[in-house]
Amino acid sequence: MPVRCDLFCAVIDNYGDLGVCWRLARQLAAEHDVAVTLWVDDLASFAHMAPGLDAAARTQRLGGITVRHWDGDMAEAVPGELIIEGFGCPLPARFVAAMARCQPAPVWLNLDYLSAEDWVEGCHGLVSIDQATGLVRHFWFPGFTAATGGLLREAGLLAARDAFQADRSAQAAFWQGLGIAEADAFSRKISLFSYENAAIEALLDALAESESSTLLLVPAGRALADVARWAGTRAATLTHGTRLARGRLRVVILPFLSHDDYDRLLWACDLNAVRGEDSFVRAQWAARPLLWHIYPQDEGAHLAKLDAFVGRVNAAAGQPAIWATAQQAWNGLPGREVWPALLAELPRLAVAARDWSARLATQPDLATGVMRFYASRVE
Ligand code: TRH
């Protein structure tokens, strides 16, 4: 009998919570033979990311998992043996009470947010006791070292990436599919996924004034406001297929891509601007240089997280110094002048990014870690 897992996702904002939970759900089903039910409270947002999803269906099968709309107290639900709550979303009291009636009690994990900070190693695996039932909840912290919960990485991901990056005809077909058959004519390609970001203007100026030609791909989203301001137009005019040109820069607006196509975009670009958590991790698996727009938090708490990540990469993979300065400039700290220097270093940054990706890949992936932990609890 496969292990039954209930994975809960409350959509707070944007797409990261969903992206992570959906990815984990699919991997548990595909690689660990787990019967996963993914409970999502906002199916309309999910449908934006998952093309085959019916936002009106309360229950449906999608890519090897069951997706259910989470909109009540779940009085009728029968808990599985493994319960994962995404990012501390509180579970309905009646569901927790049903968990407490199970014999044995399910293994209960809270999947937390990713950070490269040192404290993560100390907090990964800590427990809290549910006051009402006495059930034990384990904190699962993703991270960049063996003493953390690891990073999501599907079994065939890096082989698929390597095959794609070595195959010019596969890349040409990908660009053709996006309606950009001319992509290969550009010296470099850059993808841009960020929140509203005042640094976009200076980067685009540097690309326009560069000696080398650039194709900038911008999937629909919050960065369009700054791209529009740079272009002197309204964001509403920037829709799928819109092309803008200035100097040596051509900008193409893309639709919001499927997960698989977004991976291919990251694999195909020479620099990827990413944000939040899931795209940030995917860019590291792309083994290409990245600019991380970290999710802004109150009182600048995110800047410590940015520093921790940059410090960890620098210690391991020895990036050219401009990379750290560029991460800061991309996140609102002074540094308008960094972009030409960053672009000049892209070839060396590419070598370092590949090295970093290979180092990360020596650690067990997050889904495997979860299932090993589960096995250790039920032995
Ligand atoms: O969307 P994000 O900013 O998400 C999150 C959430 O805001 C969350 O609350 C916050 O705590 C966290 O960031 C840090 O960024 P993220 O995590 O990169 O998620 C984006 C998802 O969208 C990811 O799964 C990749 C996917 N995506 C596509 O599928 N197609 C696309 O074209 C693009 C650009 C992204």
For the segment 148-180, what is each residue's pLDDT rounded down to a tens digit? 999 999 999 999 999 999 999 999 999 999 999
How far CA 167 is from CA of 154, 160, 193, 352, in Å, comes to: 21, 11, 25, 22
The model's confidence at residue 367, banded by pLDDT at 50, 70 and 90, is: very high
The model's confidence at residue 325, banded by pLDDT at 50, 70 and 90, is: very high
> In the numeric block, which tokens belong to residue 337?
């002048």
Laid out side by side, the sheet with 35-40 consists of 59-62, 65-69, 35-40, 4-9, 82-86, 107-111, 136-140, 127-129
Residue 320 CB–ligand 1 contact under 6 Å: no
Can you say whether residue 87 is alpha, beta or left, with left for phi > 0 and alpha for psi between -120 and 50 degrees? left
Respond yes or no: is residue 277 known to be catalytic.
yes
Q: Is the pLDDT of residue 303 over 90?
A: yes
Q: Mean pLDDT across the stretch 101-114?
A: 97
Respond yes or no: is residue 42 known to be catalytic.
no
Rounded mean pLDDT of the chain?
A: 96
Angle at 154 between CA 331 and CA 116, to 5 degrees: 35
Distance CA 235, CA 2 (A): 48
Q: Is the pLDDT of residue 146 over 80?
A: yes
Q: Mean pLDDT across the stretch 108-113?
A: 98
pLDDT at 164: 98
76 vs 184, residue with greater confidence = 184
Residue 12 CB–ligand 1 contact under 6 Å: yes
- Find residue 66's DSSP bridge partners: 37, 61
- Domain covering 157-360: architecture: 3-Layer(aba) Sandwich (3.40)
Cα-to-centroid distance, 129 and ligand 1 (Å):
31
Q: So where are the chain's domains?
A: 4-152+363-378, 157-360
Cα-to-centroid distance, 194 and ligand 1 (Å):
9
- Eight-state DSSP code of residue 117: S
332 vs 109, residue with greater confidence = 109
Q: Is the pLDDT of residue 51 over 80?
A: yes
Q: Is the pLDDT of residue 336 over 80?
A: no
Atom of ligand 1 nearest to the CA of 12: 9
pLDDT at 379: 82
| Residue with the two structure tokens 């803008």 | 244
pLDDT at 340: 96
pLDDT at 14: 85
pLDDT at 299: 86
Residue 260 CB–ligand 1 contact under 6 Å: no
Cα-to-centroid distance, 279 and ligand 1 (Å):
6
pLDDT at 334: 79
Return the C-alpha torsion angle 147, 149, 151, 157, nearest 10: 100
pLDDT at 219: 96
Cα-to-centroid distance, 285 and ligand 1 (Å):
15
Helix/strand/coil percent split, the chain, to 5: 45, 20, 40
> In the numeric block, which tokens belong to residue 293?
């727009």
Q: Which of 26-30, 68-72, 160-164, 211-215 has the lowest mean pLDDT?
A: 68-72
Residue 308 CB–ligand 1 contact under 6 Å: no
Q: Is residue 156 within 8 Å of residue 164, measured between CB atoms? A: no
The model's confidence at residue 185, banded by pLDDT at 50, 70 and 90, is: very high
Cα-to-centroid distance, 368 and ligand 1 (Å):
22
> In the numeric block, which tokens belong to residue 108?
């209960």
pLDDT at 76: 85
Q: What is the H or E stretch that residue 61 is in? A: strand 59-62
Residue 193 CB–ligand 1 contact under 6 Å: yes
pLDDT at 121: 98
Nearest to 321 by CA among 329, 246, 95: 329
The model's confidence at residue 247, banded by pLDDT at 50, 70 and 90, is: very high
Pocket test for ligand 1, best of 114, 191, 277 (most atoms within 8 A of CB): 277
- State yes or no: cis peptide before 79, omega within 30 of 0: no
Among 6, 277, 345, 365, the active-site one is 277
Atom 8 of ligand 1: nearest residue by CA position: 16
Q: Mean pLDDT across the stretch 247-276?
A: 98
The model's confidence at residue 300, banded by pLDDT at 50, 70 and 90, is: confident
